[in-house]
């Protein structure tokens, strides 16, 4: 059984890489699994979700020229459909899984918090247009933790309502990258949708306490970096964790690139 996948707001292909790595990991574990030992609770695409043993991304949607160049380099045979607002979904082949993190700038505590009414975070409704027109079996939507508090929580309520009204059962959770081997304290919310079925409890394998310690190994001393906050200049060890730039310096950043 093959799982087909379409990725929105693709960036550099993080969702595609993650799915490939999960399937490879599960195949490797199935070969070496010790049935007598207790296995960690984790997201198991094969056993828990029944997604099969082969995987194929059939399309991207990304407009940034640099990210698009990376996608073309790594996946030269997969089409990038570009601007999500201009995609005619009736001409796109059907797929099983839709992924994407719609722009977070208007939901983030580091921005001006226009919420879903903002021109950027409002593209969430384009994500839902894809869901409603293509009706994939599953979807994964990712965004900043600030989505929970945007517009006093009404924005996230609107997100869940749109998804439920489209006919999907939902499971959502705030996850931190530091718990999954990434050397960064980076909290994100993930919503998993299952079409025409009961919500499934999804387990995620967490790191150990030793893996979650901040380890500073140096500092950037160039003239440009010395003008910045000390926490931004620090160089963190990949064996530990590190704060994201905005969360390390506080919210309220109005810079267009400051949105975590």
* Catalytic (active-site) positions: 104
Please tell me the distance from the alpha carbon of residue 214 to that of residue 216, in angstroms, as a whole number: 7
Among the listed residues 91, 66, 53, 85, the one whose alpha carbon sits nearest the alpha carbon of residue 13: 66
CB 235 within 8 A of CB 217: yes
Residue 73: its H or E element: helix 65-74
For 97, counting Cβ atoms within 10 Å of its Cβ (0-12 exposed, 13-18 middle, 19+ buried), the class is buried
Please tell me the distance from the alpha carbon of residue 115 to that of residue 121, in angstroms, as a whole number: 6
Please tell me the distance from the alpha carbon of residue 129 to that of residue 141, in angstroms, as a whole number: 13
3-state class (DSSP) for residue 99 = strand
């Amino acid at each position: 059984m093959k799982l087909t996948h379409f990725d929105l707001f693709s960036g550099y292909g993080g969702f595609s890489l993650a799915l490939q790595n999960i399937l490879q990991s599960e195949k490797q574990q199935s070969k070496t699994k010790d049935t007598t030992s207790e296995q960690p609770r984790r997201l198991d695409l094969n056993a828990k979700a029944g997604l099969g043993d082969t995987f194929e991304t059939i399309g991207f949607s990304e407009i940034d020229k640099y990210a698009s160049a990376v996608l073309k380099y790594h996946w030269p045979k997969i089409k990038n459909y570009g601007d999500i607002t201009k995609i005619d979904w009736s001409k796109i082949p059907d797929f099983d899984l839709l992924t994407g993190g719609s722009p977070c700038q208007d939901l983030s505590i580091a921005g001006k918090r226009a919420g879903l009414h903002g021109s950027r975070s409002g593209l969430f409704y384009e994500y839902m247009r894809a869901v409603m027109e293509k009706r994939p079996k599953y979807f994964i939507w990712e965004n900043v933790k600030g989505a929970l508090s945007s517009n006093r929580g009404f924005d996230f309520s609107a997100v869940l309502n749109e998804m439920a009204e489209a006919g999907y059962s939902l499971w959502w959770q705030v996850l931190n990258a530091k718990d999954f081997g990434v050397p960064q304290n980076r909290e994100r919310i993930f919503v998993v949708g299952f079409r025409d079925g009961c919500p499934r409890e999804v387990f995620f394998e967490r790191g150990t306490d030793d893996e979650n310690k901040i380890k500073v190994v140096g500092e950037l001393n160039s003239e440009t970096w010395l003008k910045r906050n000390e926490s931004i200049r620090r160089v963190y060890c990949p064996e530990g964790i590190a704060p994201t730039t905005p969360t390390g310096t506080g919210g309220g950043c109005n810079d267009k690139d400051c949105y975590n």
